Amino acid sequence: MTAEFGLAALWLAAALAAFQLIAGSLALTERGAPLAGAVRPVAVVQGLLTLIAFVALILVFANTDLSVKLVAMNSHSMKPLIFKIAGAWGNHEGSMLLWVTVMSLAGGFVALVERRLPERTMLATLAGQAFVSLGFYAFLLISSNPFERLPVVPVEGNGLNPLLQDLGLAFHPPTLYLGYVGLSIAFSFAIGALITREVGPAFARAMRPWVLGAWIFLTLGITAGSYWAYYELGWGGWWFWDPVENASLMPWLAATALLHSASVLASRNALRAWTVMLGVVAFSMSMIGTFLVRSGILTSVHAFAVDPERGSFILGLLAIYIGGALVLFGLRAGTVTEGQRFAPVSRESALVVNNVALSAILGIVLFGTLYPLVTEAFDTKVSVGPPYFNPMGAIFFIPMLLVLAVGPLLRWRRDSLGRVRKILLIPAAVLAVAVVALLIFSDVKVLPFLGLALAPALAIASLVPLRGRNLRRTPLATWGMVVAHFGIAVALFGMASESAFSVERLVAMRAGDSTEIGPWKVRLEAVEPVAGPNWTALEARMVARYESGSGTTILPQARSFWSPPQQTTESALLTRWNGQLYAVLGGETPAASGPGRWQVRLWWKPFVSMIWYGGVLIALGGVLAVIGRTWSDVKRIVARDKIAYRRERQGR
């Protein structure tokens, strides 16, 4: 009955989404005004119903109810509980239910707490959110029912893809989805503002926390996904420009541009049309990413759907939402006033330059991701990878970093470079010293060279906005900017170091053999069989010594899962402050007599951990900013209500 209960809740939520769309649209007219009071409560109830449906799905997975088709295809009675639960969203149908759940809960939360927008704009926003949700309800209920029963209950389930049976993948998709779907709120805000022609600071202030929240979760999701791919797949790299990786990067780039644009509109009443357009583009990138992952046109551990009909359904939704939003923007863009102007040298101009750079990088990634798919449709296979993405992205990324160092120091509206010249002397000196040191002591390629030179200068420049301030009274939003920009410098240093200084070694070793890589000496002690709850493995026991230090045992494994049958590589990582030793166990090479040799792949990756530390710092900066902005908005609302109350009492 749990599955039927969840399905009933899902149908009822879909019906309420249809009512919310109709009521919200009619409430914008004089004759439908009485329906306005029902829109917010319906949005809240709809969110609760989808949450009930998702909890029901988790329960059938936790209980291994094999009469449910989705459970039988993606779970197994012997699987650890955490991976049984993760199996609820580690597949196509479950992940789409998670998508709808987050979208509906976000819409309900907006309806519950948002009071800054004019009521007409709020009604249009909730109607837009219902319109988006309704398409995904239809997709779930018509094409991807997660609660479908089997006519014959199997004795045992197939089990979850072993590559997804990892704690990183248990939490990575929900985090990423909170970011993806959070951008649907920005999309709905943009649609609502266009419908009512009320694009201004109030609209930006209302949208900004939602964009910031989505951006934080996207940052954490991408960071966690990168680290998972790094240690789980055994390839030794942290980013491969895989189309599915790009599918998560594109919304992040658009959300970053939108976040800064919304801040300009909220604070200085500028960039009105640009902000609305980015609101549409950001969610459009989430939709395109969804299509790439679930249409079956990609082969990846992330790509769930292989049914062309599902891909066509999503493509139809993509055309309706993106096409409709762009048509609406084209019709109403002329009614969006220009807003306040600003000088070429000002903080607004710096933000515009960075927005243009982010948009250009987004275009480069989008083109590089879709181009091979287009050529394959014409029976021509083309591979687009780092030789395209790295230099093309750097053309805009490097200037963006330079502007990022200067922009926060500029004043709003109008400023001069002469005023900040002295302030920038220290970052400029650090940059010069880094360049000279790299030229003398290292021999690295151009892009790592630029990254290693710019990272310390950007780190110093990110701290300069705190100069002369009372740190205890500095607004949290300013701290958030500083921490996020410092995190970019840290991540950049990790990326450049990994690219410039990584050392790889592939060796064939018997028990007792030793090898050296970088400052490490590694000895293979033994290779022994071990067993887990739903797998067996060959485990290499290796002792690694850094220079002349004491030995540390590392245990890379080659695992074999039996449901579904699949082999995976479990790398072993040994982390120091200055990098990671990365070890992978391969197969055995038979010998004519005596024990064979084991293939062992080793990497020494200086400062590679800085990549993920930087990602966490960037997200932390976002958390500080959203707390600071929310607190400021709360104080502003309380002050406004106090003034209104005093005026009301004086009027009496």
User: For 314-323, how does the pLDDT look when each residue is reduced to its tens digit (9 = 90+)?
Assistant: 788 888 988 9
Local confidence band at 537 (pLDDT 50, 70, 90 cut-offs): very high
Taking the C-alpha atoms of 79, 63, 294 and 12 in order, what is their torsion angle to the nearest 10 degrees?
-170
266-300: pLDDT as tens digits: 888 888 889 999 999 999 998 888 777 766 665 55
Same domain? 89 vs 114: yes
Q: What tens digit of pLDDT does each residue of 365-400 get?
A: 999 998 988 888 788 888 888 999 999 999 999 999
Q: Is residue 220 part of a domain?
A: no
Structural domain includes residue 430: yes
Tell whether 3 is covered by a domain: yes
Task: Report pLDDT for 303.
Answer: 45
517 and 588 housed in the same domain = yes
Residue 561 sits in a domain of what CATH number? 2.60.98
What average pLDDT does this structure show over 115-123? 88
**What pLDDT is stored for residue 305 in this prediction?**
45
**Inside any domain, residue 645:** yes
Q: The whole model's pTM is what?
A: 0.92
CA angle 194, 197, 200 (to 5 degrees): 95
Domain that holds residue 13: 1-160
Domain count of the fold of the chain: 3
Q: Are residues 133 and 100 in the same domain?
A: yes
Question: What pLDDT is stored for residue 296 in this prediction?
Answer: 60
Q: Which has the minimum average pLDDT: 127-141, 505-519, 622-636?
A: 622-636
**Residues 473 and 593 grouped into a single domain:** no
Q: How do residues 230-275 score in pLDDT, each as one tens digit? A: 888 777 888 989 888 898 999 999 999 999 999 899 888 888 889 9
DSSP 111-173: HHH--SS-HHHHHHHHHHHHHHHHHHHHIIIII--TTPBPSS--SS-----GGG-SHHHHHHH
Domain final position from 129, 160, 191: 160
User: pLDDT at residue 506 above 90?
Assistant: yes
Nearest to 221 by CA among 166, 293, 258, 170: 170
Does residue 307 have a pLDDT over 70?
no
Round to whole Å and give the CA distance between 142 and 138. Answer: 6
User: Looking at the structure, do residues 529 and 645 belong to the same domain, yes or no?
Assistant: no
614 and 571 co-located in one domain: no
Q: Are residues 8 and 38 in the same domain?
A: yes
In a domain, 342, yes or no: no
Provide mean pLDDT across the span 97-103: 92
Mean pLDDT confidence for 593-607: 87
Q: Please indicate, yes or no, if residue 300 is contained in any of the structural domains.
A: no
Q: What pLDDT shows up at residue 167?
A: 74
Q: What is the mean pLDDT of residues 421-434?
A: 92
The predicted structure's pLDDT at residue 297: 63
Q: What average pLDDT is seen over the chain?
A: 88
Predicted local confidence at residue 382, as pLDDT: 85
132 and 50 in a common domain: yes
Give the mean model confidence (pLDDT) for residues 514-535.
92
Q: What is the pLDDT of residue 636?
A: 72
- Asked whether residue 429 falls in the same domain as residue 535, the answer is no
Rounded (5°) CA angle 465-218-43: 110
Q: Is the pLDDT of residue 43 over 90?
A: yes
| Mean pLDDT calculated for residue range 12-18 | 96
C-alpha to C-alpha distance for 242 and 301, rounded to whole angstroms: 11
pLDDT in tens, 334-371: 777 767 788 888 999 999 999 999 999 999 999 999 89
Do 447 and 578 have their domain in common? no
Q: What is the pLDDT of residues 462-500, one digit of tens each?
A: 999 998 888 888 999 999 999 999 999 999 999 999 999
Angle at the Cα of 344 (from 340 to 345), degrees rounded to 5? 110
- What is the structure's pLDDT at 295? 62
- Asked whether residue 479 falls in the same domain as residue 530, the answer is no
Q: Which residues contact 506 (CB under 8 A, 6 or more apart)?
A: 599, 600, 601, 602
Phi-psi region of 607 (alpha: psi -120 to 50; beta: other; left: phi over 0): left
CA dist 187 and 107 (Å) reads 12
Q: Which pLDDT band holds residue 304 (cuts at 50, 70, 90)?
A: very low
What pLDDT digit, counting tens, does each position of 539-575 carry?
999 999 998 888 999 999 999 887 678 888 889 999 9
pLDDT band at 308 (very low <50, low <70, confident <90, very high): low
A 10 A CB-CB count for 242 gives 15
| Confidence at residue 301, expressed as pLDDT on a 0 to 100 scale | 46
What pLDDT, on a 0 to 100 scale, did the predictor assign at position 302? 47
Side by side, which strands form the sheet with 579-589?
503-509, 597-606, 579-589, 572-576
Instruction: Show which of 590, 606, 622 is a domain's final residue.
Output: 606
Contact 184, 103 (CB under 8 A): yes
Give the pLDDT score at 148. 93
Residue 270, pLDDT score: 85
Same domain assignment for residues 612 and 548: no
Residue 265 lies in a domain: no
Q: Is residue 205 part of a domain?
A: no
Final residue of a structural domain among 160, 181, 211: 160
